[in-house]
């Protein structure tokens, strides 16, 4: 059966190209909040996304951004996604604002209208060899090829930094013995392509791509992508840095990875300064030659007062020749410190050191726990600061200043510190352990890191003078948690942004109890991140899969039960939790998870490109490479809320995941291929595989309006429509598949079901897709699947004629995934039997027990809280609660759900458990 839309597709596409959308926007004004209520202390550039109702906003619509005092702010906008009718679904926006003394004036409103035209505007100038971006506050010169990403940065007519380049130190093999150190080589950036993606008037984006090139062997490897973000009137430059590991994990051990700038030092030695951000608001701040000695001080030539306080603060003090003989002699005698570094080699400790020259020792200059991750070097005429987002969380990292006494200091930002151990990308064992032993899929050559990536975010702070301590702390805060404008949960909910979810609501005892449950789940994992130290360059952002109650530790070393890698929608759970609450702490968790799982858990080149790795001890360790881990729908939340271009690249990377998966069947060990299945180019499961592909194509369709991606979805829907049991046609919902046509083929006479079909993001994709695509038979198929998930073959066949079998919800399976399906049937049919079936999950005894018990040493390495949970259960039960609350809103009871007598502890809320040593009598 062919879809009506498929037959009309050519005419529909023609109309979209011939009839421009010129209607004025009918969307209501949108209120914007600062994430976490944190108004930027200083004016800063910010980008964010806003969704719109279908048909409300045209591609050419202009917008105005105003504060509560009616002042118009600079604004730039661009479309991020489209509805099927060609109207804009999501818009990206950019402005520069903040720094006001009146927070009320920074309550912003977005509406149709003309943006402010006064104020600074970005200019991008092009030549045969360079791009020059001028924001009015900084001028950046970017060469189209060579070794530097940024040729120079100029503020107030003075060059404050030059030759910004990437640097990597690689050693051949693991750290050897004392007498056999491995050979090392330094690599620097080789720029191959520079693209101006946006050129103002408010925001400019420059994308730089290339490789790292050896200084000794001229070897080229380790591809990189760097984006630079500029805002009108702003000096700061946001830098998003990505590397893709394409080496041999057995021998290419990275010893240091980062970037380096040369900073001109024009002033005399005692007017040069170094700054490091310490813990919280802490700042380490010193001149490279402190003007303090035994008893004497240098007096100001005109006033006779001690100049040391001004010098220590970073203010300019007189040059050497302006002092008397004694003052000049002191300046000759006092030590000059040439090199400085802050090393964060764990998540809980940093050390600051300095030395006078390479022939002398480093001395300890300070220490703390968690540095905010900013360094500055410069003099009274200017310099450069760089901050690293998630600095201590992504250890081992370090910040370094060298050659400060020379005419050009080096500022090095090490994302992987050379003071730490060498980066070891090898698998955790050379022996295979297997699915039965440790839930691990293993095959030779599959546990490889070749193709995984890592993205880091930095901010460059060019300055015309040395910043005072207060400003350093302010810049460090802005770099560690960049400000973001967000729509309210109520607005996002009203636009059905990202499908079906409920806004936080405590208006009845029942809802309040459910909200307690949801808050408790988030709190447990938020605390677990810190208590179990889920930090590190390759680990930060992910959470663990399963817990060991005997060791009082997550199963970090047990095959497929260690890192979660998005298993059962843990990232969707976090994003839905943010959308419904607007909580900044949840946003930061979800953001970190998306950054990690979309880069580290996914392959970006090589044999497995466009697929992700199933959960494992090493993020890339499991041999099952799957599309449901890499799929674009998992990244859409972060992309549309922040407009992040790197995430946009990643969503586009996976468009051919169907072809790749056809050659690399993820179920080859768990479910060996049959003779019937071998007839086709590939075999896939309806979910999570085909639904993941459909999610990829849905995302590209809405981003571009290109109907070829919609048509690929329709090809699969049409194939399913021709099968006897529709979506359930085949054992375990496995089909033959041809990636060239997108068609599915029946390979089994049986009627099937599969527990993973909808609990790895498949249901959420289908819910959104059903609001976008016109395919009547598919919608009947999907609704039938939700109603008759467990029905026998005769019932399914009869239902194709009657359309009402199982109306009593008798065939709806009740577990954490299926309850949302019953709720969806109620949403579409208003048959109360399905609402009752779904709500039974919210009130039944299966609810997770989130009560905590305290585990004290010596029964654990450190004090910690534990609960009887698994991440699979928590993610799916939380998503079920969030979705059923919305879909069955008019059928919810008001009384609080009864406690489960089978539970020894409370079932609602996060409560401190008793101190003790539960389960430790072994």
Over residues 574-598, mean pLDDT: 98
DSSP, collapsed to helix, strand or coil, labels residue 818 as: helix
- What's the pLDDT tens digit per position in 770-790? 999 999 999 999 999 999 999
SS3 content of the chain, % helix, strand, coil (to 5): 30, 30, 45
Residue 99 banded pLDDT, cuts 50, 70, 90: confident
Residue 376 token pair: 């500055």
| Between residues 23 and 616, the one the model is more confident about | 616
Residue 254: partners with Cβ closer than 8 Å, 6 or more residues away: 168, 169, 170, 171, 416, 422, 423
| Reported pTM | 0.94
What b/e string do you get for 185-201 counting C-beta neighbours within 10 Å, with b at 16 or more? eebbbbbeebeeebbbb
Question: For position 663, what pLDDT does the model report?
Answer: 86
Q: Is residue 671 packed enough to be buried (19+ CB in 10 Å), middle (13-18) or exposed (0-12)?
A: middle
Low-confidence winner among 214-218, 293-297, 490-494, 858-862 (lowest mean pLDDT): 293-297
Q: Measured between alpha carbons, how far is 847 from 868 in angstroms, rounded to an integer?
A: 11
Low-confidence winner among 70-79, 169-178, 334-343 (lowest mean pLDDT): 169-178
Please spell the DSSP secondary structure of 106-128, one letter per residue: G-EEEEESPPP--S---EEEE-S
Residue 3: partners with Cβ closer than 8 Å, 6 or more residues away: 714, 717, 718, 774, 775, 776, 777, 778
- What's the pLDDT tens digit per position in 503-513? 999 999 999 99
Cis ω before 782 (30° cut-off from 0): no
- What's the pLDDT tens digit per position in 871-910? 999 999 999 999 999 999 999 999 988 765 444 443 333 3
Sign of CA pseudo-dihedral 758, 762, 763, 764: positive
Question: For position 297, what pLDDT does the model report?
Answer: 79
Residue 179 banded pLDDT, cuts 50, 70, 90: confident
DSSP, collapsed to helix, strand or coil, labels residue 373 as: coil
Query: Is the pLDDT at 587 greater than 60, yes or no?
Result: yes
Calculate ∠ Cα 658-659-665, nearest 5°.
80
Task: Give 726's Cβ-side CA count (13 Å radius).
Answer: 24
Residue 102 banded pLDDT, cuts 50, 70, 90: low
Question: For position 844, what pLDDT does the model report?
Answer: 65
Question: For position 27, what pLDDT does the model report?
Answer: 73
DSSP, collapsed to helix, strand or coil, labels residue 265 as: coil
Please spell the DSSP secondary structure of 511-555, one letter per residue: HHHHHHHHHHHHHHHHHHHHHTT--STTTTT--BS-EETTTTEE-
Bridging pattern class, strands 339-346 and 374-379: unpaired
User: Contact, 875 vs 570, CB < 8 A?
Assistant: yes
Residue of 377, 150, 354, 136 whose CA lies nearest to 266: 377
Residue 367 banded pLDDT, cuts 50, 70, 90: very high
Residue of 115, 57, 96, 109 whose CA lies nearest to 234: 96
Calculate ∠ Cα 502-632-520, nearest 5°.
35
Query: Is the pLDDT at 812 greater than 90, yes or no?
Result: no
User: Contact, 143 vs 130, CB < 8 A?
Assistant: yes
Bridging pattern class, strands 682-685 and 625-626: unpaired
Low-confidence winner among 95-104, 236-245, 399-408 (lowest mean pLDDT): 95-104
Q: Measured between alpha carbons, how far is 729 from 802 in angstroms, rounded to an integer?
A: 19
Residue 26 banded pLDDT, cuts 50, 70, 90: low
- What's the pLDDT tens digit per position in 149-177? 999 999 999 999 999 999 999 999 998 77
- Tell me, what DSSP letter sits at residue 913? P
| Between residues 3 and 297, the one the model is more confident about | 297
Question: For position 100, what pLDDT does the model report?
Answer: 65
Residue ranges with strand state E in 279-402? 283-287, 339-346, 349-355, 363-368, 374-379, 382-388, 397-402
Q: How far is CA 421 from CA 256, 261, 388, in A?
A: 9, 24, 20
Provide the percentage of residues in the chain whose pLDDT is more than 90.
Answer: 82
Residue 442: partners with Cβ closer than 8 Å, 6 or more residues away: 432, 433, 434, 622, 623
Residue 666: partners with Cβ closer than 8 Å, 6 or more residues away: 441, 614, 624, 625, 626, 689
Query: Is the pLDDT at 14 greater than 70, yes or no?
Result: no
Q: Measured between alpha carbons, how far is 397 from 415 in angstroms, rounded to an integer?
A: 5
Residue 219 banded pLDDT, cuts 50, 70, 90: very high
DSSP, collapsed to helix, strand or coil, labels residue 640 as: helix
Q: Measured between alpha carbons, how far is 760 from 755 in angstroms, rounded to an integer?
A: 10
Over residues 809-815, mean pLDDT: 80
Helix axes 570-581, 584-599, angle to 10 degrees: 150
Residue 205 banded pLDDT, cuts 50, 70, 90: very high
Strand partners, 704: none
| Between residues 22 and 613, the one the model is more confident about | 613
Residue of 29, 77, 25 whose CA lies nearest to 54: 25
| Between residues 897 and 711, the one the model is more confident about | 711
Residue 7 banded pLDDT, cuts 50, 70, 90: very low
User: Contact, 511 vs 529, CB < 8 A?
Assistant: no
- Tell me, what DSSP letter sits at residue 563? B
What is the overall mean pLDDT for the chain?
91
Residue 79: partners with Cβ closer than 8 Å, 6 or more residues away: 59, 88, 90, 91, 92
Instruction: Find the distance separating the first CA and the last CA of the chain, reported in whole Å.
Output: 63
Query: Is the pLDDT at 28 greater than 90, yes or no?
Result: no
Residue of 503, 496, 487, 488 whose CA lies nearest to 772: 496
Q: Measured between alpha carbons, how far is 74 from 437 in angstroms, rounded to an integer?
A: 60
Residue 841 banded pLDDT, cuts 50, 70, 90: confident
Sign of CA pseudo-dihedral 748, 752, 755, 757: positive
Residue 815 banded pLDDT, cuts 50, 70, 90: low
Write down the residue that tokens 């050979």 correspond to: 183
Question: For position 847, what pLDDT does the model report?
Answer: 59
Residue 623: partners with Cβ closer than 8 Å, 6 or more residues away: 440, 441, 442, 443, 446, 447, 669
Query: Is the pLDDT at 19 greater than 60, yes or no?
Result: no
Over residues 576-583, mean pLDDT: 98
Question: For position 104, what pLDDT does the model report?
Answer: 64
Write down the residue that tokens 């912003």 correspond to: 108
């Amino acid at each position: 059966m062919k879809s009506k839309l498929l037959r009309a597709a050519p005419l529909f596409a023609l109309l979209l190209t011939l009839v421009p959308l010129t209607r004025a926007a009918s969307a209501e004004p949108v209120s914007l909040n600062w994430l976490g209520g944190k108004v930027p202390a200083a004016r800063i550039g910010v980008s964010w996304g806003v969704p719109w109702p279908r048909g409300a906003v045209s591609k050419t619509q202009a917008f105005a951004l105003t504060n509560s005092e009616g002042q118009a702010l600079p604004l730039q906008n661009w479309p991020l996604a489209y509805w099927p009718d060609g109207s804009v679904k999501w818009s990206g926006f950019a402005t520069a604002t903040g720094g006001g003394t009146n927070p009320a004036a920074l309550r912003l409103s977005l509406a149709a209208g003309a943006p402010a035209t006064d104020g600074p505007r970005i200019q991008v100038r092009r030549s045969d060899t360079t791009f020059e971006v001028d924001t009015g506050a900084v001028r950046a010169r970017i060469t189209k090829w060579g070794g530097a990403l940024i040729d120079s940065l100029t503020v107030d007519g003075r060059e404050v930094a030059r030759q910004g380049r990437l640097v990597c130190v690689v050693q051949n093999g693991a750290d050897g013995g004392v007498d056999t150190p491995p050979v090392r080589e330094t690599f620097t950036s080789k720029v191959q392509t520079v693209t101006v993606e946006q050129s103002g008037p408010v925001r400019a984006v420059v994308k730089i791509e290339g490789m790292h090139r050896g200084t000794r062997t001229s070897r080229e490897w380790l591809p990189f992508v760097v984006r630079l973000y500029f805002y009108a009137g702003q000096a700061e430059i946001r830098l998003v840095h990505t590397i893709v590991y394409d080496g041999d994990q057995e021998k290419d051990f990275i010893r240091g990875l980062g970037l380096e700038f040369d900073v001109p030092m024009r002033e005399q030695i005692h007017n040069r300064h170094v700054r490091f951000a310490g813990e919280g608001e802490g700042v380490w701040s010193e001149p490279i030659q402190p003007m303090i000695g035994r008893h004497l001080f240098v007096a100001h030539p005109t006033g006779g007062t001690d100049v040391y306080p001004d010098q220590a603060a970073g203010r300019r003090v007189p040059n050497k020749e302006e002092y008397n003989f004694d003052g000049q002699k002191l300046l000759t005698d006092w030590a000059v410190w040439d090199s400085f570094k802050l090393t964060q080699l764990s998540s809980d400790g940093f050390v600051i050191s300095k030395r006078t020259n390479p022939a002398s020792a480093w001395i300890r200059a300070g220490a703390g726990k968690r540095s905010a991750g900013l360094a500055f070097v410069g003099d009274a005429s200017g310099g450069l600061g760089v901050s690293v987002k998630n600095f201590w969380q992504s250890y081992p990292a370090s910040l370094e200043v060298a050659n400060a006494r020379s005419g050009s200091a080096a500022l090095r930002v090490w994302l992987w510190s050379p003071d730490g151990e060498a980066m070891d990308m090898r698998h955790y064992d050379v022996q295979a352990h297997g699915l039965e032993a440790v839930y691990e899929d293993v095959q030779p050559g599959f546990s490889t890191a070749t193709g995984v990536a890592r993205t880091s975010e930095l901010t460059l702070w060019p300055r015309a003078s040395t910043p005072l301590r207060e400003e350093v702390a302010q810049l460090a805060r802005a770099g560690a948690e960049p400000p973001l404008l967000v729509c309210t949960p109520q607005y996002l909910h009203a636009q059905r942004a990202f499908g079906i979810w409920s806004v936080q609501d405590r208006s009845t005892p029942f809802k309040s109890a459910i909200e307690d449950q949801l808050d408790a789940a988030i709190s447990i994992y938020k605390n677990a991140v810190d208590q179990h130290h889920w930090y590190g360059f390759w680990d930060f952002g992910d959470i663990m899969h399963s817990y060991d109650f005997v060791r009082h530790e997550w199963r970090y070393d047990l095959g497929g039960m260690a890192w979660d890698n998005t298993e059962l929608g843990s990232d969707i759970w976090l994003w839905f939790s943010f959308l419904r609450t607007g909580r900044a702490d949840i946003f930061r968790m979800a953001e970190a998870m998306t950054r990690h799982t979309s880069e580290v858990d996914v392959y970006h080149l090589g044999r497995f490109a466009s697929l992700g790795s199933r959960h494992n001890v090493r993020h890339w360790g499991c041999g099952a490479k799957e599309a449901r881990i890499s799929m674009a729908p998992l990244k859409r939340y972060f992309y549309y809320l922040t407009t992040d271009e790197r995430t946009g690249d990643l969503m586009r990377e996976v468009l051919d995941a169907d072809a790749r998966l056809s050659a690399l069947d993820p179920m080859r060990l768990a479910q060996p291929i049959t003779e019937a299945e071998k007839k086709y180019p590939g075999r896939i499961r309806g979910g999570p595989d085909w639904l993941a592909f459909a999610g990829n194509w849905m995302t590209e369709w809405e981003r571009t309006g290109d109907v070829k991606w919609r048509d690929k979805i329709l090809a699969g829907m049409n194939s399913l429509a021709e099968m006897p049991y529709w979506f359930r046609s085949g054992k375990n919902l496995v089909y033959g598949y041809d990636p060239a046509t997108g068609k599915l083929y029946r390979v089994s006479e049986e009627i099937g079901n599969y527990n993973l079909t909808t609990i790895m993001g498949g249901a959420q994709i289908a819910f959104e897709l059903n609001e976008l695509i016109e395919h009547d038979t598919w919608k009947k198929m999907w609704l039938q699947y939700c109603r008759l998930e467990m029905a026998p073959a005769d019932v399914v066949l009869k239902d194709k004629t009657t359309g009402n079998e199982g109306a009593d919800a008798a065939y709806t399976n009740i577990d954490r995934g299926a309850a949302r399906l019953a709720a969806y049937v109620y949403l579409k049919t208003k048959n109360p039997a399905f609402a009752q079936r779904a709500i039974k999950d919210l009130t039944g005894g299966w609810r997770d027990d989130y009560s905590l018990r305290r585990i004290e040493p010596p029964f654990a390495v450190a004090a910690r809280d534990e609960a009887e949970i698994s991440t699979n259960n928590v993610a799916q039960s939380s998503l079920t609660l969030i979705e059923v609350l919305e879909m069955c809103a008019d059928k919810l009871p008001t009384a609080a759900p009864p406690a489960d007598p089978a539970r020894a502890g409370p079932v609602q809320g996060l409560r401190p458990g008793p101190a003790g040593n539960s389960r430790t009598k072994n």
